Amino acid sequence: MMFLKQAVPVLSFCSGSIKHGQLTVDVLRLDLLHPEISGNKWYKLKHNILEAQSRGINTVLSFGGAWSNHIHALAAAGKHFGFKTIGVIRGERPKQPSAMLQDVERWGMQLVYVSRYDYRKRYEPEYHQELLEQLSLQNNEVWIVPEGGSGELGVKGCEEILESGSIDPADYDQIWLAAGTGATAAGVIRSVNNRSHVKVVPVLKGAAFMEADINQYLDASLTNWSLDLEGHCGGYGKTTPELLQFITETEEESGLPLDQVYTGKMLLAFKKAVEAGQVAEGCRVLLIHTGGLQGRRGLKI
């Protein structure tokens, strides 16, 4: 597993274009962690896999859509470490399965397609029981990971993100990252322990609820963080011409690849904050690249 903290002086909106002095911007490249077990999803899976192992369980089941980074990482981890994986996928099996689904099938994941109606029951223990019966499996033979790898075990793994990248939060004034469920943010906020301000960019529209979702994992003393509710670009999985152009330009200028669901929105939100003069002169910023680049294959421009 490889890590890289990358200084990106070539992000043009940070160098030279800043009126009030320079910013220091580093990117923690979790996308470079492993070619297949990408980004924050590895951290969310790690303690789930260890828990399953300690219970002698050799099958891990989880939930996701046709482009899920989480399902992709789970299948890759199963192949890498030698455990069985089951992906419960939202919607009918597409005539032309996505590149994500093709990967995970090739890696040996068993796929179960469920209707959108049934998929809504993914957090209900009764539904889990139903699924296991359908698969002729016993309760004690399968470890079930919540959608996206969220939950306390996922958060616990995300506490290790900065340390494993040899990052001292005290070296930064702000740490930015994208959020879907907020579990990754919760783990990072815990490990930062108020030593830096964590800026969380939800990729969903109207995500004020995420404040409570994140707080449920936090001690009341952990207050040095905030949500940027304007960075969603229209909602989960939605894109705007501005976002797509920004992703293309950033890659051309700096060589930093971004995905359109998470990291592109995070970086665009940061750019806008800089341009609006909301990032103070001399600010030292760490951007966490949470991975997810496999999902770029689903981008139709």
Ligand X SMILES: *Cc1c(COP(=O)(O)O)cnc(C)c1O
- Residues in contact with ligand X by CB under 6 A are 39-41, 69, 148, 150, 178-185, 259, 262-263, 290-292
Least spacing, CB of residue 209 vs ligand X, in Å: 13
For ligand X, the closer CB: 57 or 154: 154
Nearer to ligand X, 57 or 259 (CB): 259
Residue closer to ligand X (CB basis): 150 or 239: 150
Comparing CB distances to ligand X, the nearer of 85 and 184 is: 184
For residue 298, the minimal CB distance to ligand X (Å) is 12
- Please say which residue, 210 or 273, places its beta carbon nearer to ligand X: 210
- Give me the least distance between CB of 232 and ligand X, in Å please: 13
| Whether 290 contacts 30, CB under 8 Å | yes
Q: Nearest distance from residue 155's CB to ligand X, in Å?
A: 8
State in angstroms the smallest separation of the CB of 41 from ligand X: 6
Comparing every residue's Cβ against ligand X, the nearest one is 292
Q: How do beta strands 59-64 and 284-289 pair? A: unpaired
